[in-house]
């Protein structure tokens, strides 16, 4: 689908927006931190495309996928604690330094606010990584709520984080729009009963976003905002 073929979204009162691959191009940060960790463990570097295919289901999954390049299951679990500690150290040291905000994000968030929507950022990124990145990129000011992958008992693609936002904002799930770059966002939204739009420029585990069941694909967050009736 394209923006031109999408219909106006009515009675939307809140937007729940993903972070990595949706608002911020963080793959370069992942690339640097993962390879610094791998160097500490005596492993060779991975290219950025391979690493971005592992992004989206939280840091724990990312570490296991990265280690899985070199080790079988028992080796992954053996090296996991050291790998995780090393990665967290390196990621915190460079968080946001190599990242960039996608075009239309600031404008889109401002337009959503201007239409009276309340905004939440829901990401599978640990909250200790997400909050500094939002501050550094100037995006934190748009959001009433920020939930990381370790903020709640469950993370996307489980619908719980989206339902929690709806509860917090006192809106029905049908009155909330999720915007993300992957099947995680779409699956969570569908299960929660929210509307959902995808952006085409993110990561989606290396798979085509056009195969994801959503209400459509928008080029930017600003395009998403323009689909919502005031």
DSSP-assigned states of every residue in 143-197: -SEEE-TTTSS--TTSSHHHHHHHHHHT--GGGEEEEESSHHHHHHHHHHT-EEE
DSSP, collapsed to helix, strand or coil, labels residue 47 as: coil
Average pLDDT, rounded, for the chain: 93
What is the DSSP code (8-state) at residue 9?
Answer: B
pLDDT for the residue 4: 35
Of the candidate ranges 24-33, 160-169, 182-191, 203-212, the one whose mean pLDDT is the lowest: 203-212
Residues 20-34, mean pLDDT to the nearest whole number:
96
pLDDT reported for residue 197: 96
* Tokens encoding 63: 């570490």
Side-by-side strand order, sheet with 145-147: 145-147, 118-122, 14-17, 176-180, 195-198
Expressed in percent and rounded to 5, the helix, strand and coil fractions of the chain are 50, 15, 40
pLDDT band at 55 (very low <50, low <70, confident <90, very high): confident
Residue matched to tokens 């899985």: 68
The residue from 18, 29, 181, 215 that is catalytic is 18
Q: What is the mean pLDDT of residues 11-40?
A: 96
For the question of residue 18 being annotated catalytic, the response is: yes
| Average pLDDT of the segment spanning 11-15 | 97
Query: Does 3 have pLDDT greater than 50?
Result: no
Tokens of 57: 């289901």
């Amino acid at each position: 689908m394209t923006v031109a073929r999408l219909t106006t979204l009515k009675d939307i009162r809140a937007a729940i927006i993903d972070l990595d691959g949706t608002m911020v191009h963080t793959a370069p940060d992942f690339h640097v931190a993962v390879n610094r960790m791998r160097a500490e463990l005596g492993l060779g570097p991975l290219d950025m495309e391979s690493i971005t295919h592992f992004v989206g289901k939280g840091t724990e999954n990312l570490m296991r996928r990265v280690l899985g390049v070199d080790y079988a299951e028992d080796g992954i679990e053996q090296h996991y604690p050291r790998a995780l500690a090393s990665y967290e150290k390196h990621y915190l040291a460079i968080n946001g330094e190599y990242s960039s905000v996608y075009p239309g994000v600031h404008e889109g968030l401002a337009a959503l606010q201007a239409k009276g929507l309340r905004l939440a950022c829901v990401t599978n990124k640990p909250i200790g990584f997400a909050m500094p990145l939002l501050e550094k990129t100037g995006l934190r000011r748009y959001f009433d709520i920020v939930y990381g992958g370790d903020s709640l008992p469950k993370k996307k693609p489980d619908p719980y984080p989206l339902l929690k936002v709806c509860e917090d904002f006192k809106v029905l799930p049908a009155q909330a729009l999720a915007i993300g770059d992957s099947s995680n966002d779409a699956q969570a939204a569908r299960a929660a009963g929210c509307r959902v739009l995808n952006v085409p420029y993110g990561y989606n585990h290396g798979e085509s976003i056009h195969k994801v069941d959503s209400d459509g694909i928008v080029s930017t967050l600003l395009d998403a905002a323009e689909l919502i009736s005031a």
